[in-house]
Homo-oligomer: A and B are copies of this chain.
């Protein structure tokens, strides 16, 4: 086990993503947390903002301008989209950046500006950014200086789909992705729609056909399919805090079978420590990955001929965000891929 110590700063430490990154980094054998950055809460102890992290000597939250970048090797950025790109573009060049926002995920700046409704201030950085779907971009990650961690939904969906899209086993033009997420995905900023009383004991779809994770999924699927792909992506808000599950309804292309699908996934992930292709008949559930970096994938026959159902499940804050960010960090710095990510799921 490497005993190297890498100094990190977490920007956006007062959000759920930043806090979960901090939680994981605190137990990472090769990380020293040098700075926790937040705007509104600058000056407060981290424990005041996130009491579950009290008692471990974390640095106080500080303004981004107050950070001494000299001693910082890597930055994790958990800011909302639209704020990340300008801050990241001003960091010293020698600092490696793992961005958990949406600002560098879309390779096409026009697409970004159209979906996010704002001007990108660092289009030249977009070109340098590696899309941090760890299992699928390992080689690129090892030499990356800027990583754009995928959205939570794209992570879940692409883990299920990419190997079979790549193998040409399914019709890329007929991908239906019914997605379900816990409420943390909406962040910690107070909104009526994510109040306990609004969300509890109920269930609703949202952003139907208009969610910003759709173009991100399409970007990656199109790349492997060799054609411009439009997908159905329909997210639903579930009364739970953590967890995400996508149910992908796919059509086999000519000559392929459900066994082929299963084999392609098996092959793609057999050496990947965080992905588990479940045995036939075993069903992924979000409960079984809660708090961990695992991704569970199950393949099921459809009642409709030549159709298959692929289901994948992750913790949206871990594999869907902070955990994958740390996994990418490990790959960037040549550390054990699993370092700091060995927590087992918390069930119940």
Contact = CB atoms under 8 A, between A and B. Distances in A.
B27 A201 contact: no
Contacts of A174: 304
Nearest to A301: B209
Interface stretch (A60-68, A79-87, A151-159, A233-241): A233-241
A201 B182 CA distance: 8
A51 interface: yes
Interface in A276-311: 276, 282-292, 294, 300-305, 307, 309, 311
Contact of A203 (B234, B286, B307, B344): B286
Nearest to A318: B346
Interface residues of A, number: 85
Given A16-B348, A245-B203, A304-B231, A283 B208 contact: yes
Contacts of A55: 276, 294
Contacts of A283: 204-206, 208
Q: How often does this chain occur in the complex, in copies?
A: 4
A203 B240 contact: yes
A27 B230 CA distance: 43
Interface string A307-334: 1010100000000000000000000000
A38 to B, nearest CB: 14
Contact of A200 (B19, B200, B276, B288): B200
A266 interface: no
Contacts of A247: 178, 205, 234, 236
A276 B201 contact: no
B197 A241 contact: yes
A89 to B, nearest CB: 30
9 contacts: A52-B346, A55-B276, A189-B192, A196-B198, A201-B201, A203-B238, A205-B311, A208-B300, A239-B240
Interface of A: 16, 19, 23, 26-27, 50-56, 173-174, 176, 178, 180, 182-184, 188-192, 194-206, 208-209, 214, 230-234, 236, 238-243, 245, 247, 249, 276, 282-292, 294, 300-305, 307, 309, 311, 342-348
Given A52-B347, A182-B197, A202-B240, 13 more contacts: A52-B290, A54-B288, A180-B203, A184-B348, A188-B197, A188-B198, A194-B195, A196-B199, A196-B200, A201-B240, A202-B290, A204-B285, A234-B309
